[in-house]
Amino acid sequence: MSNNKGLNKIFSFFGKKNEEQEELEVQPVYISELTKAVQEAMWMSTEEEQKQAFRLLADKLEDDLSDIDNLSQIEQADYFQNGGFVFAMLGDNEKAIEYYSRTIDISGDSAYAYLGRASAYRNLEEFQKAVIDYKRAIVMEPDNADLYCHLGATYLRMGVLDEAIANYDKAIEINPYSAVNIAGRAAAYLANGEPEKALSDYDEAIDLEPFDPELFYGRANVHFLNKDYAKVIADCDEAIEINPSEGKYYYIRANALLESGNIEEAIDSYTIAIEHEPQASLFYYGRGQAYVAKGEKDKALADLEKCKTLDETNRQQVEEIINKMNMN
């Protein structure tokens, strides 16, 4: 289920093998046709092809459900476990929970099913249920760093930062070479008001995965908090070079440019961000603020009104800015 368990899981025994071990080793590993189909879907070359493959699998799973009683217990567990994954990949978290729950009812000892159901609960922001399932999976696989990482991410979203950091610590203890584990702890440190520790973790994560744009974006957020705007821009430029189609990289870059007084460049960067994500209300808010700073009232009003239209939660703040502009 996981490759994040450390070398102790790879080399479990050295020495002469007895006849029973020799016999066990030559037994073929059973992989169901459904598992093969799921793997083939994962290997599709484009995201759209992958989604289409999973949609077809989901339809077949639902069509074949009426024949489930004709399958053995092992086949049923395999059916529902793969089904949970398929629906999770399609973003249907409720259906994923339903299928993973059937797996658990049948087998009762699948850490993978608990992990899958926990992740679906987390996506639905049912965090307490997610925590319970992650902990159940950990009881079954206490040396699986991925499980602690997922649990840490859940606590981070809950705002329970001490628990988030503790679980990331455990994940890193098991696998100190995972940039995901280290970057997760960095995000928890940042949320906990410990930017120096966050910065140190992001530095280490980037050393491990120098082509992950999200790591540069994460570190840019720390630099922004520290008001080190030149470093924000540099990290965003690195992220953009790796993935030039992600709007948020241009957005935080634009924020840093605006804070640095580079208004024209900030407007350009906000504009690119909007081109990539035209429904992101904060991008219009940022560019509107830049237009305010530049003295272009009409353009500022247009962007701020657009921000208000896209996200009603910004209405009061945006209207205060608009009222101040109208008074001047």
Average pLDDT estimate for 32-51: 95
Indicate the pLDDT class of residue 8, thresholds 50, 70 and 90.
very low
Residues 205 and 289 in one domain: no
- The answer to whether the CB of 247 falls within 8 A of the CB of 283 is yes
The tokens describing 110, both together, are 């699948």
134, part of any domain: no
Q: Which of 126, 158, 179 is the last residue of a domain?
A: 126
Residues 115 and 150 in one domain: no
Residues 150 and 231 in one domain: no
Q: What is the Cα–Cα distance from 214 to 94, expressed in whole angstroms?
A: 28
Instruction: Using a pLDDT cut of 90, give the percent of the chain over it.
Output: 84
Neighbours of 227 (CB within 10 A): 11
CATH number, position 169:
1.25.40.10
Tokens 């808010």, residue?
A: 285
Average pLDDT estimate for 194-204: 99
12, part of any domain: no
Residues 156 and 201 in one domain: yes
* Overall domain count for the chain: 3
Q: What is the Cα–Cα distance from 97 to 102, expressed in whole angstroms?
A: 9
* Closest by CA position to 147, among listed 131, 162, 163: 131
Q: Which of 91, 126, 161 is the last residue of a domain?
A: 126
Q: Supply the pLDDT for residue 327.
A: 54
7, part of any domain: no
- Per-residue HEC secondary structure of the chain comes to CCCCCCHHHCCCCCCCCCHHHHHHHCCCCCCCHHHHHHHHHHCCCCHHHHHHHHHHHHHHHHHHHHHHHHCCHHHHHHHHHHHHHHHHHCCCHHHHHHHHHHHHHHHCCCHHHHHHHHHHHHHCCCHHHHHHHHHHHHHHCCCCHHHHHHHHHHHHHHCCHHHHHHHHHHHHHHCCCCHHHHHHHHHHHHHCCCHHHHHHHHHHHHHHCCCCHHHHHHHHHHHHHCCCHHHHHHHHHHHHHHCCCCHHHHHHHHHHHHHCCCHHHHHHHHHHHHHHCCCCHHHHHHHHHHHHHHCCHHHHHHHHHHHHHHCHHHHHHHHHHHHHHHHC
14, part of any domain: no
171, part of any domain: yes
Range of the domain at 98: 29-126
pLDDT tens by residue, 216-236: 999 999 999 999 999 999 999
pLDDT tens by residue, 312-328: 887 778 877 777 777 55
Residues 93 and 40 in one domain: yes
Residues 271 and 162 in one domain: no
The tokens describing 4, both together, are 């994040």
Lowest mean pLDDT among 22-36, 64-78, 164-178: 22-36
3, part of any domain: no
21, part of any domain: no
pLDDT tens by residue, 136-181: 999 999 999 999 999 999 999 999 999 999 999 999 999 999 999 9
Residues in the chain: 328
Residues 219 and 327 in one domain: yes
pTM of the model: 0.83
Angle at 20 between CA 15 and CA 24, to 5 degrees: 95
Residues 238 and 307 in one domain: yes
Instruction: Using a pLDDT cut of 70, give the percent of the chain over it.
Output: 90
Residues 66 and 167 in one domain: no
Residues 59 and 42 in one domain: yes
Tokens 């009881």, residue?
A: 139
Q: Supply the pLDDT for residue 20.
A: 43
Q: Is the pLDDT of residue 200 over 60?
A: yes
Q: Which of 210, 230, 256 is the last residue of a domain?
A: 210
Q: What is the Cα–Cα distance from 296 to 279, expressed in whole angstroms?
A: 22
* Closest by CA position to 118, among listed 161, 83, 80, 151: 151
Residues 155 and 248 in one domain: no
82, part of any domain: yes
Q: Is the pLDDT of residue 1 over 50?
A: no
Q: Is the pLDDT of residue 23 over 90?
A: no
Q: What is the Cα–Cα distance from 224 to 324, expressed in whole angstroms?
A: 27
Residues 108 and 63 in one domain: yes
Radius of gyration for the alpha carbons in the chain, expressed in angstroms and rounded? 24
- Within 13 A of 265's CA, how many CA atoms are on the CB side? 12
